[in-house]
Structure 1
Amino acid sequence: MSRLSEQEDFQVALCTAPDQDTAERLAELMVNDQLAACVNIVPNVTSVYRWHDSSGKASVEKDSEVLMIIKTHAELMAELGDLLEREHPYDVFELISCNIEQASAAYLEWLENSLRF
């Protein structure tokens, strides 16, 4: 790798969207802005979660969603969050990430060359 020294700085981030069209729109924004090298879109994910309504009452909800698996870099996570803050339809959207601890050198080089630094 030429510019970056730590492979653990590369991230796999997860974000859900309400439907395929929204996920594709968000993914294209991320890739076009070079905040993500690749976004895999996984349809038909069932999410079960606790939600508090406007009165503060909690309930268990279940919804069908689309999962985006985002390949990015730790330095870009804040900008990725800003993009989702502007463009994501949820008031509370998911954006969580894990370090990439093992990957081929060729894949890491491709990631590095596909992202904005």
Structure 2
Amino acid sequence: MTALIYCPFPNEDSAKEIGRALIEEGLIGCINVGPSIHSLFVRNSKIGESEETPALLKTDKSLLQRAISRLEILHPYDTPAILGWPCVAGSATTDWLGQLGSGANE
């Protein structure tokens, strides 16, 4: 079963670099890096804002927690916002992501 991870990065280069590392480690099969977004947030009881680069990472459900854990380590933010969830529906074109969890890509 396919799983998705959403995570904003400080810039496009860091998203691509970390995405490539996760692909090379066999933890994700794909990363879609979006254009810059403007983020408003609260941190330490203060409202902040910044430009960030959103990314959607695709993996197999069996690798979801391992991919999130590794992303936390590689991410340049001290406390990155990382959201992951299994997909309950998808097209047959996502079946190749199941090969990640089976070790077929190793």
In structure 2, what residue type is equivalent to 1:17?
F
In structure 2, what residue type is equivalent to 1:15?
C
Shift of 1:34: 1.5
The alignment's TM-score, normalised by the length of structure 2, stands at 0.85
Please tell me whether Structure 1 or Structure 2 has the larger radius of gyration of its CA atoms.
1
RMSD value over aligned CA atoms? 1.5
**1:46 and 2:41 are equivalent in the alignment:** no
Name the CA distance, whole Å, in 2 between partners of 1:11 and 1:94. 17
Aligned to 1:23: 15
User: Does the 8 Å contact 2:68/2:84 carry over to 1?
Assistant: no
Aligned to 2:79: 92
Shift of 1:49: 0.8
Calculate percent identity across the aligned residue pairs: 24
Q: Which residues of structure 1 form unaligned runs of 5+?
A: 1-6, 53-57
SS at match of 1:47: strand
In structure 1, what residue type is equivalent to 2:12?
Q
Between the two proteins, the alignment pairs up a number of residues equal to: 102
User: Does the 8 Å contact 2:60/2:101 carry over to 1?
Assistant: no
Moved over 2 A (4+): none
Name the CA distance, whole Å, in 1 between partners of 2:24 and 2:86. 22
Per-residue CA shift, 1:66-109, capped at 9, x if unaligned? 1110111232122212322321110101111232122122x132
User: Does the 8 Å contact 2:4/2:56 carry over to 1?
Assistant: yes
